[in-house]
């Protein structure tokens, strides 16, 4: 296919650098929301199935791994942002050969890094569980689940980078379709392994690995059959040093920023574990409800990465500013509406995970505290996404490291030691968000003024 033909086809799905904004933002973001929500629903079946049909210890074990699983997932998604931004910049600048090179490098890196992390994770699984301070009655379950989860990391890594490649070209529908198919399999396999074969945490972990394998292979199939700049020829997958450097320059800070939340949450999870199995189960169940508010925010964050990336690559600086303003407003509206609905139905939703009144009451406290403060995440994450789209990931990464990780860890080792209560450990979530949002706003204004001249039309 000639370069001239490719240039006519870029970007083909859709053109993000011209025309109206809000409708395109919604068409791009809504599949992302549904993807994240479906993924969490499917993941929640792990906890729900073992909670209902196995034991509270098995449920606590799966939940105790949530910070580690989130750390890996957030870090992988963050690094894949480098792929998204680099390809989006090349698409916006009408550089098809550079975009295709970035696609090849992204696929090769995803495969190599996924295998490395999977092997390493199996080796250090026990020390990780010990670091979390998991109670003795839960430890064996936790180790089993974590080792099996690490075995599926190559598929998770591949899926995240494949999805980022599709997003860079404006396509969020195909990853949604592939995830849905894999997720339906996950639910069916969970029930089969636990109810029919009598397995517990090992059953739900194996089901998760198989589901991720299905999703990633389906995406690979569609990339191989893609008739555009993001087409993947498996025989030509290789790493270009310059492309990898550019991807990691953007992706590593983004990955670290995402992982910082999980690192601090591991510290918080250790504090929660010290309160006992009931609070561990409550935290796990509540997380699977309140996280849907974050998914709305994150969908618009990923939207801003691609929209700002393509428009900045095309030199349309005024449109970049307009995209950020309008996306923030839409993101805030969606987040507030969903948060209100989750608050209304929180108690019956918690009842899907457990029948224990103590667990439900503790879960309600967490859900309320975090959803009331979700608006802070709109500012914090969306503006971080806008900066990443401009190719500047270091500022949001550093502010998050200091304002989130720092504040939470300091509190766990100071205030929580004095006020050793469930409320004491939960309140640090909205407090750290507020501090971080303040500095992210300052960082965005500075970055915007440096990189997006107001007079540019």
Report the pLDDT value the prediction gives residue 339, as an integer from 0 to 100: 92
More confident residue, 401 or 329: 329
Q: Which of 61-70, 293-302, 382-391, 441-450 has the lowest mean pLDDT?
A: 61-70
**Residue 51: pLDDT band with limits 50, 70, 90:** low
Q: Which of 6-20, 272-286, 288-302 has the lowest mean pLDDT?
A: 6-20
CA dist 7 and 178 (Å) reads 28
Report the pLDDT value the prediction gives residue 323, as an integer from 0 to 100: 94
- Our CA angle for 176, 238, 222, nearest 5°, is 25
- Model confidence at 54: pLDDT above 90: no
CA dist 26 and 172 (Å) reads 11
CA distances from 226 to 43, 220, 268, 269 (A): 29, 10, 43, 42
CA dist 101 and 87 (Å) reads 9
Burial class (CB in 10 A: 0-12, 13-18, 19+), 25: buried
More confident residue, 425 or 194: 425
Q: Alpha-carbon dihedral of residues 421, 426, 428, 432, nearest 10 degrees? A: 170
CA distances from 97 to 108, 330, 375 (A): 17, 35, 40
- Model confidence at 361: pLDDT above 80: yes
**Residue 427: pLDDT band with limits 50, 70, 90:** very high
Q: What number is the average pLDDT over the span 129-138? A: 74
- Model confidence at 307: pLDDT above 50: yes
Q: What number is the average pLDDT over the span 298-302? A: 92
Q: Alpha-carbon dihedral of residues 199, 346, 339, 297, nearest 10 degrees? A: -10
Token look-up 């250790």 returns 270
* pLDDT cut 90: percent of the chain above it: 32
Q: If you count them, how many residues does the chain have?
A: 457
- Angle between helices 374-389 and 277-313 in degrees, nearest 10: 40
Cβ neighbours of residue 337 closer than 8 Å, sequence gap 6 or more: none
**Residue 210: pLDDT band with limits 50, 70, 90:** very high
Query: Which stretches within 65-95 are classed as H helix?
Result: 66-92
Q: What number is the average pLDDT over the span 83-88? A: 88
Q: What number is the average pLDDT over the span 15-35? A: 87
Q: Which of 53-62, 134-143, 177-186 has the lowest mean pLDDT?
A: 53-62
CA dist 241 and 305 (Å) reads 23
Q: Which of 154-158, 316-320, 362-366, 450-454 has the lowest mean pLDDT?
A: 450-454
Q: Kindly state the tokens that stand for 45.
A: 């079946």
Report the pLDDT value the prediction gives residue 1, as an integer from 0 to 100: 40
Select from 326, 299, 297, 298 the least CA-distant residue to 311.
Answer: 326
The rounded mean pLDDT for the chain is: 85
Report the pLDDT value the prediction gives residue 13, as an integer from 0 to 100: 57
136-139 contacts, C-beta under 8 A, 24 or more apart: 137/57, 137/277, 138/57, 138/60, 138/61, 138/64, 138/277, 138/280
Report the pLDDT value the prediction gives residue 319, as an integer from 0 to 100: 92
Q: What is the pLDDT of residues 374-404, one digit of tens each?
A: 989 999 999 999 999 998 888 888 888 888 8
In the chain, where are the structural domains located? 21-451
- Model confidence at 431: pLDDT above 50: yes
Q: What is the pLDDT of residues 92-108, one digit of tens each?
A: 878 888 889 999 999 99
Report the pLDDT value the prediction gives residue 161, as an integer from 0 to 100: 92
Select from 337, 339, 311, 338 the least CA-distant residue to 324.
Answer: 311
- Model confidence at 9: pLDDT above 50: no
Q: Which of 57-61, 358-362, 365-369 has the lowest mean pLDDT?
A: 57-61
- Model confidence at 135: pLDDT above 90: no
Q: What number is the average pLDDT over the span 448-453? A: 86
CA dist 139 and 8 (Å) reads 57
Q: What is the pLDDT of residues 223-262, one digit of tens each?
A: 999 888 888 888 888 898 999 999 998 888 878 777 777 6
Cβ neighbours of residue 145 closer than 8 Å, sequence gap 6 or more: 61, 62, 65, 201, 202, 204, 205
């Amino acid at each position: 296919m000639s370069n001239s033909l490719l240039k006519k086809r870029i970007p083909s799905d859709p053109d993000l650098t011209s025309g109206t904004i809000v409708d395109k933002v919604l068409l791009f973001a809504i599949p992302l929301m549904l993807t994240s929500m479906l993924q969490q629903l499917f993941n929640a079946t792990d906890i729900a199935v073992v909670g209902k049909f196995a034991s509270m210890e098995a449920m606590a074990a799966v939940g105790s791994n949530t910070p580690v699983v989130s750390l890996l997932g957030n870090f992988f998604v963050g690094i894949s942002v480098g792929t998204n931004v680099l390809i989006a910049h090349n698409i916006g600048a009408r550089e098809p050969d550079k975009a295709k090179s970035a696609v090849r490098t992204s696929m090769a890196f995803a495969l190599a890094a996924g295998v490395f992390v999977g092997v390493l994770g199996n080796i250090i699984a026990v020390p990780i569980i010990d670091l979390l301070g998991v109670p003795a009655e839960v430890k064996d379950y936790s180790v089993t689940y974590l080792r099996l989860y690490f075995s599926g990391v190559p598929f998770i890594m591949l899926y995240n980078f494949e999805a980022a490649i599709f997003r860079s070209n404006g396509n969020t529908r195909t990853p949604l379709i592939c995830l849905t198919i894999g997720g339906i399999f996950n639910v069916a396999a969970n029930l089969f392994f636990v109810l029919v074969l009598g397995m517990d945490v090992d059953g739900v972990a194996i089901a998760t690995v198989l589901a991720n394998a299905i999703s990633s292979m389906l995406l690979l199939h569609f990339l191989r059959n893609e008739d555009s700049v993001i087409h993947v020829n498996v025989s030509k997958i290789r790493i270009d040093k310059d492309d990898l450097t550019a991807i990691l320059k953007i992706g590593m800070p983004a990955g670290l920023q995402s992982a910082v939340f999980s690192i601090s949450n591991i510290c918080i999870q250790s504090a929660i574990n010290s309160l006992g199995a009931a609070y561990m189960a409550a935290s796990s169940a509540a997380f699977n409800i309140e996280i849907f508010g974050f998914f709305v925010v994150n969908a618009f964050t990923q939207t801003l990465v691609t929209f700002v990336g393509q428009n900045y690559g095309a030199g349309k600086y005024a449109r970049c500013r307009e995209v950020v303003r309008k996306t923030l407003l839409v993101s805030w509206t969606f987040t507030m509406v969903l948060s209100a609905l989750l608050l209304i139905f929180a108690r019956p939703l918690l009842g899907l995970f457990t029948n224990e009144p103590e667990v439900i009451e503790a879960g309600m406290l967490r859900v309320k505290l975090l959803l009331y403060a979700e608006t802070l995440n709109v500012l914090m994450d969306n503006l971080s996404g806008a900066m990443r789209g401009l190719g500047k990931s270091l500022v949001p990464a550093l502010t998050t490291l200091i304002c989130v990780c720092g504040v939470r860890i300091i509190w766990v080792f100071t205030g929580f030691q004095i006020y050793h209560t469930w409320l004491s450990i939960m309140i640090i979530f909205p407090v750290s968000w507020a501090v971080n949002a303040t500095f992210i706003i300052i960082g965005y204004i500075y970055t915007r003024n440096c990189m997006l001249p107001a007079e540019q039309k």
